[in-house]
Amino acid sequence: MKTLGEFIVEKQQDFPHATGELTALLSAIKLGAKIIHRDINKAGLVDILGTSGISNVQGEVQMKLDLFANEKLKAALQARGEVAGIASEEEDEIVVFQGERGENGKYVVLMDPLDGSSNIDVNVSVGTIFSIYRRITPLGTPVTEEDFLQPGHAQVAAGYVVYGSSTMLVYTTGYGVHAFTYDPSLGVFCLSHEKVRFPAKANMYSINEGNYIRFPLGVKKYLKYCQEQDEATSRPYTSRYIGSLVADFHRNLLKGGIYIYPSTASHPNGKLRLLYECNPMAFLAEQAGGKASDGQHRILDIVPTQLHQRVPFFVGSRSMVEDAERFMAQFPDE
């Protein structure tokens, strides 16, 4: 049984930018995940369920657990000298870590502390998403928004934690995707899936079909294609949608499938955030042999202009994403 810490040390040669700093940073995320795991598992027994009564910069009402997870992860990262600042779904602006340790931190972290948090009240899987970049402003100075507005292909590491029937941490540093299952009796994450790849056969699609009437024509046509009978392509495909990006992506990664959150009439630019949701998932998808797109362009090539920028998102098994892109190109909205 190999622990996450042992595996990271063993693979440290795979961190071309670091000589221990990135290892310590991932350990901080691991610590934050263990704290969130502990409190999620007793959420019904303490007063951390329901809404906080506060809205974030995107106008979304924050759940109590959103704020709890954000504070725990922020504290774990700030305690390390490797991080110069963070950007979070729960923070209006970037958070600059002050003082000499923060100003000399080599990395910035972007995160969605608790993806799918509205599912907590009904005991459905949720997750944490993180993305790590090397800062581009000089060491010894406070980080600026410029450090966070980098294209996804500049990520040095990314991953997620899924809190479900078991808690798993999945990450990549650009050398494959590796997954670790948390053993609460020992308090450690143990290697359970090394070099994860999307299965060759993929037959699941994940999308909120309740918004069908608001979807672009290309997405509507692709969904009809998924539902048609065709033995040669093993259609119709199976529809599976949890409503938590981490949980839906994780299932499709292990079973084979596509996750789609397109533009809609109410969200013409899509709903998911490029920097701390789409980019890290796209990095993981490509490292696992999959693909991530906004329907036309590679997600990791998009140059961000805003901290909370939204994009349409198509991610999963390469063949399914390419089929969806083909329908988007063939049936552009009028």
Tens digits of residue pLDDT in 53-73: 555 556 555 667 888 899 999
Instruction: Taking each helix axis as running N to C, give the angle between helix 279-287 and helix 245-255, from 0 to 180 degrees, rounded to the nearest 10.
Output: 10
Please name every residue paired with 205 in a beta bridge, in sequence order, or none if there are none: 239, 258
pLDDT in tens, 60-114: 556 678 888 999 999 999 998 899 999 999 999 999 999 988 999 999 999 999 9
Token pair for 44: 């019904």
Token pair for 152: 């996804």
Q: Is 101 exposed, middle or buried (0-12, 13-18, 19+ CB in 10 A)?
A: middle
Domains 4-193 and 204-330 share a fold: no
Give the pLDDT confidence score for residue 67 in this predicted structure.
87
* Average confidence score pLDDT of the chain: 90
Q: Is the pLDDT of residue 312 over 60?
A: yes
Q: Please state, in angstroms and rounded to a whole number, the distance separating the CA atoms of residues 308 and 200.
A: 34
Q: Which CATH architecture has domain 4-193?
A: 2-Layer Sandwich (3.30)
pLDDT in tens, 216-261: 999 999 999 999 999 999 999 999 999 999 999 999 999 999 999 9
CATH number of 204-330: 3.40.190.80
**Structure confidence at residue 327 as a pLDDT band (50, 70, 90):** very high
Output the CA–CA distances (angstroms, integers) from residue 163 to 119, 126, 256, in the order listed: 11, 5, 20
Contacts of 75 (CB under 8 A, 6+ apart): 32
Give the pLDDT confidence score for residue 176 in this predicted structure.
94
Domain locations along the chain: 4-193, 204-330
Q: Is the pLDDT of residue 52 over 60?
A: no
Q: Is the pLDDT of residue 201 over 50?
A: yes
pTM: 0.93
